[in-house]
Homo-oligomer: A and B are copies of this chain.
């Protein structure tokens, strides 16, 4: 499909012209998503790998940008890198079907650093977030499905563009500067899905948001870049779409409704890979409907649509909780055994032996007659068939992607009920001014 000859410029014009504050629903959803995201960041801030990043990157730096969950300030680039990593390290942050990944973690760490530095209002910050997410989601839609399937981590590759678009909107870049920033972001697009299950996966989010910040800062300083990354015949689609691009989806329907509203963000109920969430829901339902216990189970077969477990690169017998985030077998075993899934199931400790004993009896298959998994959430399903030792079979089908509507409890859990952070959800729900935003940032950059 041939792209509009000025597609990048037209996208830049759409970014500049957008006024999402006029859409109350979008703003309300954005505030809710921010509460959910800050829960994930604060919950991840003390992770071993986040501490490695702090040790590696903050020495010798100084500045006014805070490290979330730490009493530490550094330059905006370093803060974005570390805060992006921390926001993704639990694999608990929101997902979006059009991105096939995590938009908020790629946008907010860079955007917040800039907004505080520039004394932006909380309203302008929220508007920029919605526009950045719109850009990231629509580029994702236009890229098609082969990008992800062939090995790219879309959070990482689309993230720089989303972050750069958000900052361009916040700082009211003219369309030419915005187009340059988007191209400088796209030329930093990187991240391979083979890193799922390793510390490198959340690092991708940190690198992406820092890349978006880099792109925006450089464009504003007059650093020159190509203005045509979308329509150039050897541009973004040639490199990343494997022939599956649909460039018209970048602008067709822009903001009507906003992508944050429809198809909308999913706020995760469980701190593991999205594609394993229906498995957790199914396991919990089987347990509660049949008082099912591990000892009764002979074998379990989980059926996915074609491509439905592409993200689930963890093995049936993961080594640690990190790897287990990407193991539907282990997620089934944990939910069925414990009746709940928590952060403690997916940390760096070795995978639990009792759960491994059950997960080793779980296998996967694909229903080749079903529609291939696509950004359309209605294509997502799992069927769990449990064969009991007595020969009987229990089945449960889960359609779509389960999520939560209200992250208040998740926020309290992730912060361990720490009173220092208890005011954040109410502040995020009401914030409007620059002073509100500064107060939020100060609260976030406090030692957990």
Contact = CB atoms under 8 A, between A and B. Distances in A.
Contacts of A256: none
Interface in A69-83: 74-75, 77
Interface stretch (A220-228, A247-255, A415-423): A220-228
Contact of A77 (B52, B57, B191): B57
Interface in A220-247: 221-226, 228-229, 232, 234-236, 238-239, 242
Nearest to A63: B60
Contacts of A223: 49, 52-53, 199-200, 203
Contacts of A32: none
State the 8 A-B residue pairs at the shortest beta-carbon distance, nearest first.
Answer: A190-B190, A151-B239, A151-B234, A200-B225, A151-B238, A199-B224, A60-B63, A194-B232
B60 A239 contact: no
Contacts of A197: 226
A194 B182 CA distance: 13
Interface in A4-34: none
A164 interface: no
A218 B56 contact: yes
Given A61-B61, A217-B56, A224-B198, A235 B49 contact: no
27 contacts: A52-B222, A53-B218, A53-B223, A56-B221, A59-B75, A60-B74, A61-B62, A149-B234, A151-B236, A151-B238, A151-B239, A186-B192, A187-B190, A187-B200, A188-B191, A188-B207, A190-B190, A192-B229, A192-B239, A194-B232, A194-B235, A195-B225, A200-B223, A200-B224, A200-B225, A200-B226, A203-B218
Contact of A226 (B60, B187, B194, B226): B194
A186 B203 CA distance: 13
A184 B77 CA distance: 19
Given A152-B239, A195-B226, A200-B225, 19 more contacts: A52-B218, A52-B223, A59-B75, A60-B75, A61-B62, A149-B234, A151-B236, A183-B200, A184-B203, A187-B204, A188-B191, A192-B235, A192-B236, A194-B228, A194-B234, A195-B225, A197-B226, A198-B224, A203-B218
Contacts of A239: 150-152, 192
Interface string A41-56: 0000000010011011
A193 interface: yes
A189 interface: yes
Nearest to A320: B224
Contacts of A136: none
A110 interface: no
B190 A195 contact: no
A189 B53 CA distance: 19
**Of listed A55, A74, A200, A236, residue having the most chain B CB within 10 A:** A200
Contacts of A222: 52
